[in-house]
Amino acid sequence: MTKVVLVGGTGVLGHALVPRLLDRGHAVTVLAPGPRPAPAGADRVDASLLDIPGDELAGVLAGCDVLVNVATAVPADPAAAGAWELNTRLREEGTPRLVDAARASGVGHLVQMSITMVYPDGGDRLLDESTPLDTDPARAALVEPVRVMEQAVRRASGDGPSWTVLRGARFAGPGTVQDLQRRRLLGGTLPIAGDGSSWLSMVHVRDFAAAVAATVEIRPPGMVLNIADEPVREGEYTERLARAVGAPPPPYDRSLVPELPSQRVSSAAAHRLLGWKPVTGIWGGVG
């Protein structure tokens, strides 16, 4: 039995991941600050990664084989002033704190979530893990905290736990951005930006949870792995989602720039090292 501590396990990913880990015989302790309940069957510690006292954190990590960090604080209103401050702190302060605590407590392996959104616009090019992160100053507020977070994990090499970073594509499934997209399609307010040829990389949260669970067991050391389903073009994606929810075909608006850069993410390394393949798919549950 593996003892897993899951930081931030009360959210969308936590609820998909914990049952999977428990089914495979692992013991799970969830650490999170807010009122949302932990998934059934997991032990719960009510604390914030940002201010839990060091000795308390060491107590939580005692005997931990694999520490998994999925904590994030995505704001309700992303455009509000200072909205991303807490999420940035979780990346720039929380992860280094966790790495130090894992080193001091003798944790065996650390699995840190990251995001593929930090790659630059690649046009039609496949983006694998060797692609440098985006250096566009306009995207620095998103990219730089992720760079700091990943560097903190890399610094565990040597005297700290072995580690794997999973760069996840945008989540699909209940409780994700797809809920808003469905509502906007039904209300006729989700046009396709540009000519619809921009690439989108997404992954169903259940498939992502399967990749995390495989990482907990295989523990590929010192690896950064992309976890994305087959990329699709934005026009194809939006039209198919509209059909699935019974919404009218979304119009094209050539004056609009796509919300995200064109990112055609390759997960070939995860297929090879984790034996991971998406099963539910980004259309899971929506036809």
Q: Is 22 in the site for ligand NAP (CB under 6 A)?
A: no
| Shortest reach from residue 10's CB to ligand NAP, in Å | 4
Q: Is 69 helix (H, G, I), strand (E, B) or coil?
A: strand
- 286 part of the interface to ligand NAP, by CB under 6 A: no
Residue 233 host element (H or E): strand 232-233
Nearer to ligand NAP, 252 or 258 (CB): 258
Contact pick of 41, 43, 74, 188 for ligand NAP (by CB under 6 A)? 74
Q: What distances in angstroms separate CA 100 from CA 93, 160, 188, 220, one per listed residue?
A: 11, 8, 49, 20
**3 state DSSP class of 260:** coil
| Binding span for ligand NAP by CB under 6 A among 5-13, 77-85, 103-111, 129-137 | 5-13
Confirm or reject binding of residue 237 to ligand NAP (CB under 6 A): no
Residue 200's beta-bridge partner residues? 232
* Spatial separation of the C-alpha atoms in residues 285 and 282, rounded to whole Å: 9
Mark the segment that binds ligand NAP (CB under 6 A) among 31-39, 97-105, 120-128, 150-158.
31-39
Residues 169-198 that bind ligand NAP (CB under 6 A): 170-171, 176
- Confirm or reject binding of residue 11 to ligand NAP (CB under 6 A): yes
| CA atoms of 170 and 259, how far apart (whole Å) | 12
> Which of these ranges, 130-138, 168-176, 190-198, 215-223, lies near ligand NAP under the rule CB under 6 A?
168-176
Judged by CB under 6 A, does residue 73 bind ligand NAP? yes
Q: Does 32 bind ligand NAP (CB under 6 A)?
A: yes
Smallest separation (angstroms) from ligand NAP to the CB of 105: 17
Report the C-alpha gap between 287 and 282 in whole angstroms: 10
Nearer CB in complex with ligand NAP: 73/102: 73
Under 8 Å between Cβ of 249 and 109: no
Q: Are 217 and 280 in contact (CB under 8 A)?
A: no
CB of 34 to ligand NAP, least distance (A): 3
Query: Do β-strands 126-127 and 264-265 pair in parallel, antiparallel, or remain unpaired?
Result: parallel
User: For ligand NAP, which residue of 19, 22, 27, 48 counts as binding (CB under 6 A)?
Assistant: 48
- Residue 163 in contact with ligand NAP, rule: CB under 6 A: no
Report how far residue 109's alpha carbon sits from residue 45's, in angstroms, rounded to the nearest whole number.
Answer: 20
Query: What is the helix (H) or strand (E) element at residue 109, kind and residue range?
Result: strand 109-115
CB of 139 or CB of 252, closer to ligand NAP: 139
Shortest spacing between CB 133 and ligand NAP, in angstroms: 15
Nearest-Å Rg of the Cα atoms of the chain is: 19
Per CB under 6 A, does 13 bind ligand NAP?
yes
Q: How far is the CB of 145 from ligand NAP (least distance, A)?
A: 11
Helical pair 177-186 and 234-245, crossing angle rounded to 10 deg = 70
Find the angle CA(214)-CA(220)-CA(225) to the nearest 5 degrees. 80
The stretch near ligand NAP (CB under 6 A) out of 68-76, 128-136, 190-198, 235-243 is 68-76
> Taking the CA of residue 200 as centre, how many other CA atoms within 13 Å lie in the half-sphere pointing to its CB?
22
Q: Which residues make up the interface to ligand NAP (CB under 6 A)?
A: 7-14, 31-34, 36, 48-50, 70-74, 90, 113, 115, 168, 170-171, 176
